[in-house]
């Protein structure tokens, strides 16, 4: 019986942890049923390297933005710059952007400015916004809501591990929640309950590799192949077979990341 196909909607293949190993990483992912992956550029000056990985491997797509923890260190992105990058056939999302007050609360103002720029780029391109949120739930819910009222856009709350209130706010705007290895950690019962309460057609899976490896690899380097371990937990949370959960989350990815879904090597 063929392996169920799933998508790693968020990884970082340009990080040094994977240097010189991309072919093997992609091959192991395929063996695990991870048919596609989106590698995320977190500093726009590194976009050429991230793009090159996507261009070299058919299953790999990419997105680019300025990570909130880097917002104060990097030049502020412009909407035009992000829109120009989106012309590439394998560029499928805007970000990751967002708010992180855990380590970088002192740059809250520039993070918020950067976030609004990325939201406008998502509006103009029609590509999904990829959000990182940590210890900033109130501001995140407020800004996402204000901006959505000013003009609709699509969005995924990547590696979602925030409050039920932020989940409810995001889902209320029509956004998606992405399940990472955190949801598979034994102590993440409350987070699993948030995902259990979310509509099944609004859930994605991801690794955020090289970080946050799910059991049985916890504490080791994560990689796209391990998406399968998180997806198995997701299936249990929703009382589904792995095959059905894989099919549903893949359909969700294709709906949100429509540009990736329509891409073909001949394009």
Consult the annotation and say whether 229 binds a ligand.
Answer: no
Sign of CA dihedral 263, 265, 266, 267: positive
Given the structure tokens 């991309």, which residue do they identify?
Answer: 22
132 assigned ligand-binding residue: yes
- 238 a known binding residue? no
Beta bridge partners of residue 132, listed in sequence order:
98
Partnered with residue 60 across adjacent β-strands are 37
Q: What is the dihedral of CA 120, 124, 127, 131, to 10 degrees?
A: 0
Burial class (CB in 10 A: 0-12, 13-18, 19+), 164: middle
**Residue 67 is assigned to a ligand binding site:** no
- Asked whether residue 10 is marked as a ligand-binding residue, the answer is yes
Query: Who contacts 47 (Cβ-Cβ below 8 Å, separation ≥6)?
Result: 41, 64, 85
Whether 12 has a binding-site annotation, put simply, is yes
Residue ranges for the known binding site are: 10, 12, 96, 132, 158, 208
Residue ranges for the known binding site for a divalent metal cation are: 10, 12, 96, 132, 158, 208
């Amino acid at each position: 019986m063929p392996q169920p196909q799933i998508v790693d909607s968020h990884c970082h293949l340009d990080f040094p942890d994977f240097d010189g190993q991309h072919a093997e990483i992609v091959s192991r992912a395929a063996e695990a049923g991870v048919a596609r992956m989106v590698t995320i550029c977190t500093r726009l000056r590194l976009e050429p390297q991230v793009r090159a990985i996507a261009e070299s491997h058919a299953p790999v797509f990419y997105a680019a933005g300025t990570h909130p923890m880097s917002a104060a260190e990097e030049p502020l992105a412009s909407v035009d710059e992000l829109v120009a990058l989106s012309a590439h056939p394998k560029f499928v999302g805007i970000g990751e952007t967002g708010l992180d007050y855990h380590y970088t609360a002192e740059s809250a103002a520039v993070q918020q400015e950067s976030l609004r720029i990325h939201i406008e780029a998502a509006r103009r391109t029609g590509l999904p916004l990829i959000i990182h949120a940590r210890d900033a739930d109130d501001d995140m819910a407020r800004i996402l809501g204000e901006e959505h009222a000013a003009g609709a856009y699509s969005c995924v709350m990547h590696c979602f591990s925030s409050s039920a209130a932020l989940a409810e706010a995001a889902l209320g705007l029509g956004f998606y929640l992405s399940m990472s290895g955190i949801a598979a950690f034994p102590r993440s019962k409350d987070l699993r309950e948030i995902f259990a309460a979310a509509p099944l057609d609004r859930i994605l899976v991801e690794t955020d590799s090289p970080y946050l490896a799910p059991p049985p690899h916890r504490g080791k380097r994560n990689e796209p192949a391990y998406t399968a371990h998180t997806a198995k937990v997701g299936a249990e949370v929703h009382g589904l077979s792995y095959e059905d959960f894989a099919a549903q989350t893949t359909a969700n990815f294709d709906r949100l990341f429509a540009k990736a879904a329509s891409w073909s090597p001949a394009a």
